[in-house]
Amino acid sequence: MFPVSVIIPVYRDAEALASTLASTDLSAAEVIVSASIDDESLHALRLARPDLRWIDAPRGRARQMNAGAAAAHGEWIVFLHADTQLPQRWRRAIAKADESGDRYAIGCFRFALDSRSPFARLIEAGVRLRVWLFRLPYGDQALFMRRELFDHLGGYADLPIMEDVDLVRRARRCGRLFRSRLCATTSARRWERDGWIRRTARHLALIALYFCGVRPDRLVRLDPARRAHPNPHGGHISL
């Protein structure tokens, strides 16, 4: 079986990362946790999980994912958010994409939230519609692609937001999007904290502004959640 590397960027989110590692079977992959160099909150988890590869990188999700990819040995790379859990048979989805040769440039899983709220179901439906219409998954759907193509594209652009959208758009110029029916489940904690409607409306406004040409550095300043919670990994854009 071809080698797969799972790269998890994390910043001050040890609890979510520990939950993901405990709930997701990653035994068939090289797992690289790319931590910010100024993050001391992961010390205990590092000691508890010496089976993982821990690397330090400059702060910022794009930078940390690029650093993880540079250290990876897998033929395929999966970019997994610290608060997102892969489905049980996630390896099969990548195998199907691999069997297609060069037909697919990038792949994703179906988006799901770990909440019973009806708002969660509406958001999930909206994400499925967006992916179906525009072939545009986001990072919390566990994007995966061949290492060779990732390197060819130059990796993630050094953007403070929308780095996943930028990568998907560039990758799709090289091939199709593989959409797995299996669900990658993301924590709903930020929607519950900010309010389901408020957070979703803000996400829609940010993505609309991005496609209207507003620069990512300006989008960050327009996002009150990022100003209130300066964690560079705290701004899921999911609808």
3-class SS string, 26-91 = CCCCEEEEEEECCCCCCHHHHHHCCCCEEEEECCCHHHHHHHHHHHCCCCEEEECCCCEECCCCHH
Residue 61 lies in a domain: yes
Nearest residue to 108 (alpha-carbon basis) of 28, 183, 216: 183
Mean confidence (pLDDT) of the chain:
92
Q: Provide the domain limits for residue 183.
A: 4-188
Provide the pLDDT for residue 228.
46
Residue 201 lies in a domain: no
Provide the pLDDT for residue 224.
62
Residue 47 lies in a domain: yes
Average pLDDT of the segment spanning 92-103: 93
Q: Are 156 and 187 in contact (CB under 8 A)?
A: no
Q: Which of 6-10, 144-148, 218-222, 235-239 has the lowest mean pLDDT?
A: 235-239
Residue 218 lies in a domain: no
Provide the pLDDT for residue 102.
85
Residue 232 lies in a domain: no
Task: Identify the CATH number of the domain in which residue 65 sits.
Answer: 3.90.550.10
Distance of alpha carbon 208 from alpha carbon 230, whole angstroms = 22
Residue pLDDT, tens place only, 219-238: 988 876 555 444 455 455 55
pTM to 2 decimals?
Answer: 0.93
Q: How many domains does the chain have?
A: 1
Residue pLDDT, tens place only, 15-25: 999 999 999 89
Q: Cα–Cα–Cα angle for 184, 163, 96, nearest 5°?
A: 40
**135 exposed, middle or buried (CB, 10 Å; 0-12, 13-18, 19+)?**
middle
Cβ neighbours of residue 34 closer than 8 Å, sequence gap 6 or more: 7, 8, 9, 10, 55, 56, 57, 64, 65, 67, 68
Average pLDDT of the segment spanning 100-109: 93
Residue 175 lies in a domain: yes
Residue 186: pLDDT above 90? yes
Q: Are 74 and 94 in contact (CB under 8 A)?
A: no
Residue 238 lies in a domain: no
Residue 132 lies in a domain: yes
Average pLDDT of the segment spanning 36-63: 93
